[in-house]
Amino acid sequence: GAVVSQHPSWVICKSGTSVKIECRSLDFQATTMFWYRQFPKQSLMLMATSNEGSKATYEQGVEKDKFLINHASLTLSTLTVTSAHPEDSSFYICSARDRTRWNEKLFFGSGTQLSVL
């Protein structure tokens, strides 16, 4: 079955540093990938839609200069949390649509737990 690989699975960093999270579709091509954020005991909130070869679309309230998204190929999207602060500590999870089966379920990565000290 289709697999989405996300790493790192967890990262601890100092305040002010940048952290990059990778989301890779292993056996399918994904024109579109999605990034979610989840705070403890809350639901998943869509942050942005990553489009291959074009700019990402950000949800209202998400700072595009803080959360940089790059989708340079049909199998890789990256989310960079720039100048991370403790309030950015959260669980980040990506998902992808198989462009040949776009009407089927999305595939999710296993998530990245970010802790900013």
Q: With binding defined as CB under 8 A, does residue 45 bind other proteins?
A: yes
Check binding of 103 to other proteins (CB under 8 A). yes
Write down the least CB distance from residue 91 to other proteins, Å. 7
Residue 2 touches other proteins, criterion: CB under 8 A: no
Cβ 16 to other proteins shortest distance, Å: 26
- 95 part of the interface to other proteins, by CB under 8 A: yes
Taking contact as CB under 8 A, which single stretch among the options 17-25, 33-41, 64-72, 75-83 is the one that binds other proteins?
33-41
Quick one: 48 or 81, whose CB is closer to other proteins?
48
Asked whether position 22 contacts other proteins by CB under 8 A, the answer is no
In three-state form (DSSP H/G/I as H, E/B as E, the rest C), the secondary structure along the chain is CCCEEEECCEEEECCCCCEEEEEEECCCCCCEEEEEEECCCCCEEEEEEEECCCCCEECCCCCCCCEEEEEEECCEEEEEECCCCHHHCEEEEEEECCCCCCCCCCEECCCEEEEEC
CA distances from 12 to 43, 47, 62, 95 (A): 22, 21, 22, 22
Interaction site with other proteins (CB under 8 A): 31-32, 34, 36, 41-46, 49, 51, 59-60, 91, 93, 95, 97, 99, 102-106, 108-111, 113
